[in-house]
Amino acid sequence: MRAASALTLAVALAALATAAVPRELTSGPGAGLTAARCAICHDLEHILRSRLSRGEWEDVLANMRQRGMPPLADDEQRVILDYLAAYYGRDPAPPAAPDTFAAGGGDPVAKMLDAHACNGCHTVDRKLVGPAFRDIAAKYAADAGAAARLAAKIRSGGAGAWGDVPMPPNPKLSEADALALARWVLDRKQ
Ligand code: HEC
Ligand code: HEC
């Protein structure tokens, strides 16, 4: 009996492993942001197999916060909920669409770079007062802990990594926004 159920379980697991499950989120506005925030602790299967209402997704997000997910900025949370409710909601999903938030325009991170005057000292491809974001991304490309460290430095400011000129602190920036900015900067490699 015990052996039989173990066998049944093994067969079931093998079937699961071979089922053609898409590993990627459907492309749509906010898909990239959702993947970036949700794949920190587990793969995206949890999303791929769910069909939940917007309210239920909101509960899931609150639950993930309790499990240690870094806080989301308000506009990020709205983008992620809109995306999840549309593509992994109770109603039939709309067709795949370009991720307009990743392509600039409504990109919440691009807006933050303006709002916090990062653009006054940094550009993506040229050194101004601070290093080019592209050079920062290249420098830390192989450094798994870079996002968290850079997020902390964006908030505290400091010098020494690129020269003697210090970056001023940004104490008003939330930890979540600083982490989003750090991840965005680290993505500028090419
Ligand atoms: C800090 C880690 C962490 C982050 C970030 C995170 N999750 Fe989770 N999530 C967990 C843990 C832990 C579980 C339960 C264990 C498991 O099933 O992997 C879980 C389970 C789930 C489940 C299964 C249902 C449940 O409540 O157990 C869903 C759905 C889910 N996560 C969605 C998300 C979404 C959507 C995001 C992004 C907005 C996200 N998670 C981000 C840690 C995290
Ligand atoms: C007044 C100019 C100034 C502003 C405003 C500024 N920075 Fe900087 N930033 C610098 C300088 C200078 C450095 C180099 C510091 C060093 O050598 O450690 C730097 C370094 C960095 C680094 C790399 C840190 C390291 O340790 O390698 C990141 C990431 C960064 N800035 C992001 C940002 C973001 C995001 C903002 C907006 C919230 C911002 N900066 C605003 C001047 C600025």
Task: State which amino acid sits at residue 148.
Answer: A
The arrangement of secondary structure in 21-106, i.e. its CATH architecture, is: Orthogonal Bundle (1.10)
Q: Which ligand is nearest to the CA of 33?
A: 1
3-state secondary structure of 161: coil
Task: State which amino acid sits at residue 45.
Answer: E
The pair of three-digit structure tokens given for residue 167, joined into one six-digit string: 């970056």
| CA angle, residues 75, 49, 59, in degrees to nearest 5 | 40
**pLDDT for 161:** 97
Q: Is 47 in the pocket of ligand 1 (CB under 6 A)?
A: yes
pLDDT in tens, the chain (190 residues): 454 455 454 444 444 444 444 578 999 888 988 988 888 788 899 999 999 999 999 999 999 999 988 888 777 898 899 999 999 999 999 999 887 776 555 567 877 887 788 888 888 888 988 999 999 999 999 999 999 999 999 999 999 999 999 999 999 888 988 998 999 999 988 6
Q: Report how far ligand 1's centroid is from the alpha carbon of 93 (Å).
A: 21
Quick one: CA dihedral 121, 127, 129, 130, positive or negative? positive
Q: Report how far ligand 1's centroid is from the alpha carbon of 80 (Å).
A: 14
Tell me the DSSP string of 78-116: HHHHHHHHHHSSSSPPPPP---TTTTSSS-HHHHHHHHT
24, 44 Cβ separation under 8 angstroms: yes
List the CATH code of the domain at 108-186.
Answer: 1.10.760.10
pTM over 0.85: no
Q: Where are the domains of the chain?
A: 21-106, 108-186
Q: Which ligand is nearest to the CA of 127?
A: 2
